[in-house]
């Protein structure tokens, strides 16, 4: 399969919990990586592998996966978490890299 | 932490070629894997391909395979992406990404991006 599907937009109230999902057949075999992009900035890796956070990413970010769906959960999002979030993984062959279409997160 | 610094913005004519450079500061350049990602204005991220320095292996997204080339210069710790036969829809920000080791992903480090506008 050569597609990763994300909801175009999600909103969450300050202090609540939000889950951003990514669906694709290749996620049954390969882990998802997640990138956050704020306006006018380059993307930043926020989650990789099986729930691994890069240095500097707060622990309110967590990742999970089940079947063909990967999720990025933000527990108690802050205003600075408002951004576009992209999932990424391999295609079924493992040789190509795919991106989801991105989810615009609004923190109310 | 490794820093990736890309070359500056460019304007190109349709049919011409472009080269974007990406210089790595810190780490051991010869162990890095570099990928290139582009983003058209207001659009999402698109993987173009990458180069694994440890093996010399190159991977290409099918859409770019015929007109993109990736090279590295270990004497200057710089990696390059050349895209030929430019079209107006190649107008985009081009990002260099990197990581240590021989795996293609994830993209640990990102350059600041290079805006390339293709216009007659």
CB contact under 8 A, B47 and A49: no
CB contact under 8 A, A99 and B44: yes
CB contact under 8 A, B110 and A42: yes
pLDDT tens per residue across span B45-63: 999 999 999 999 999 999 9
Taking only residues 64 to 103 of chain A, the set having a beta carbon closer than 8 angstroms to any beta carbon of chain B reads 86, 88-90, 95-102
**Whole-number Å distance between alpha carbons of B53 and B71:** 9
Res A2 pLDDT > 80: no
CB contact under 8 A, B59 and A96: yes
Q: What is the DSSP code string of A24-79?
A: -GGGGTS--EEEEE-TTS--EEEEBTTTB--TT--TTEEEEEETTEEEEEEES--G
Rounded alpha-carbon distances, angstroms, from residue A21 to A10, A34, A79, B32, B59: 10, 10, 20, 30, 27
Per-residue pLDDT, B28: 96
A22 in Cβ contact with A4 (< 8 Å): yes
Per-residue pLDDT, A50: 87
pLDDT tens per residue across span A68-81: 999 999 999 999 99
Q: How far is A102 from chain B (nearest CA, A)?
A: 6
A42 in Cβ contact with A35 (< 8 Å): no
Q: How far is A14 from chain B (nearest CA, A)?
A: 26
Per-residue pLDDT, B1: 87
Res A91 pLDDT > 80: yes
Low-confidence ranges of chain B (pLDDT < 50): none
Mutation target vs A (from B2, B33, B45; most A CBs, 10 A cutoff): B45
Q: Which two tokens stand for residue B112?
A: 């600041």
Greater confidence (A15 vs B75) lies with B75
B119 in Cβ contact with B15 (< 8 Å): no
Per-residue pLDDT, A7: 97
**Whole-number Å distance between alpha carbons of A32 and A30:** 7
Per-residue pLDDT, B65: 96
CA of A102: which chain B residue's CA is closest? B44
Sign of the dihedral through C-alpha A107, A34, A42, B89 = negative
Per-residue pLDDT, A1: 52
**Whole-number Å distance between alpha carbons of B93 and B117:** 9
Return the number of CB contacts < 8 Å for A and B: 56
Q: How far is A24 from chain B (nearest CA, A)?
A: 16
Mean pLDDT, residues A5-34 taken together: 96
CA of A88: which chain B residue's CA is closest? B106
Q: Using CA atoms of B82, B33, A71, B46 in order, give the dihedral in degrees to the nearest 10.
A: 0
pLDDT tens per residue across span A30-52: 999 999 999 999 999 999 998 99
């Amino acid at each position: 399969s050569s597609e990763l599907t994300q909801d175009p937009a999600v909103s969450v109230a300050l202090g609540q919990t939000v889950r951003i999902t990514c669906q694709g057949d290749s996620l049954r075999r390969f882990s998802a990586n997640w990138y956050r992009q704020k306006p006018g900035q380059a993307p930043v890796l926020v989650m990789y592998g099986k729930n691994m956070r890069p240095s500097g990413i707060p622990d309110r970010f967590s990742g999970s996966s089940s079947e063909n769906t990967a999720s990025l959960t933000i527990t108690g999002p802050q205003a600075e978490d408002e951004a576009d979030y992209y999932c990424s993984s391999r295609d079924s062959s493992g040789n190509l890299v795919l991106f989801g279409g991105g989810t615009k997160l609004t923190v109310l | 932490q490794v820093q990736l610094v890309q070359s500056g913005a460019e304007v190109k004519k349709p049919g011409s070629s472009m080269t974007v450079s990406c210089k790595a500061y810190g780490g051991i350049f010869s162990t890095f894997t570099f990928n290139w990602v582009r983003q058209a204005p207001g659009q999402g991220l698109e993987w173009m391909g990458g180069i694994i320095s440890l093996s010399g292996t190159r991977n290409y997204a099918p859409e770019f395979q015929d007109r993109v080339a990736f090279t590295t210069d270990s004497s200057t710790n710089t990696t390059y992406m050349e895209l030929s036969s430019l079209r107006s829809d190649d107008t985009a920000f081009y990002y260099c990404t990197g990581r240590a080791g021989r795996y293609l992903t994830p993209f640990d480090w990102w350059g600041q991006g290079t805006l390339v506008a293709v216009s007659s």
